[in-house]
Amino acid sequence: MENLILGIHHAALKYEGYEKFQEALYFYHELLGLPILRSWGRGSDAAAMLDTGSGILELFANGAGLTHGVVNHIALATKDVDLCINIVRMSGYEIILEPIDQAFPVKPPYAARLAFCIGPGGEKVEFFCEQ
C-alpha cells in the first residue's frame, strides 16, 4: 500500500482567551524565534500559524472551557537545547526536565539531547536535538 501520509503538517494549541493567546505568541515567536506565517481574527477569535522549520504550530485564543483532547507534549527540534531552556527559564517558565543526553534503546542506536518546560497554556514543550 502506498504511504498516504507525508508528515506532520501542524500541531494546534487552544488557549483560554486572548491574554493567554498573546502570551503564547510571545513564548513561541519572541522568545523562541518562530516566524509568524499568518494570523487572523481578533479577541477570542484570534489565531496564528507559526513556522517551526519542519511543520506548523497553530495557536488559537478560543479554548476557554474546552474539556476534550489532550496534547502530551510538543517536541521542537533545535540545535541548542541548553540555550532554549536558559531563555525560557530567564523568562519565568517552569523547567520540568533539565537538559540531558538520552540514548534510546533501539537498533540502530539513536541518541538525542532533550529538555522539557511548561509553556504558557500548561502544555509540555520538549526541546530536542538529534545527536
Q: What are φ and ψ of residue 21, in 5° steps?
A: -60, -45
Contact 34, 11 (CB under 8 A): no
Q: In the structure grid, which three cell numbers stand for residue 99, read together?
A: 537538559
Under the banding of pLDDT at 50, 70 and 90, the label for residue 1 is confident
Say which residue, 72 or 127, is predicted with more confidence.
127
Q: Which residue, 12, 17, 121, is CA-closest to 59?
A: 12
- Residue reference for cell 501542524: 10
pLDDT digits (tens, 9 = 90+) for 85-126: 999 999 999 999 999 999 998 889 899 999 999 999 889 999
What's the predicted TM-score (pTM) here?
Answer: 0.84
Contact 21, 36 (CB under 8 A): no
Domains of the chain by start residue, with CATH: 1-65 (3.10.180.10), 72-131 (3.10.180.10)
Residue 3 has pLDDT above 90, yes or no: no
pLDDT digits (tens, 9 = 90+) for 30-74: 999 999 999 999 999 999 999 999 899 999 999 887 766 667 789
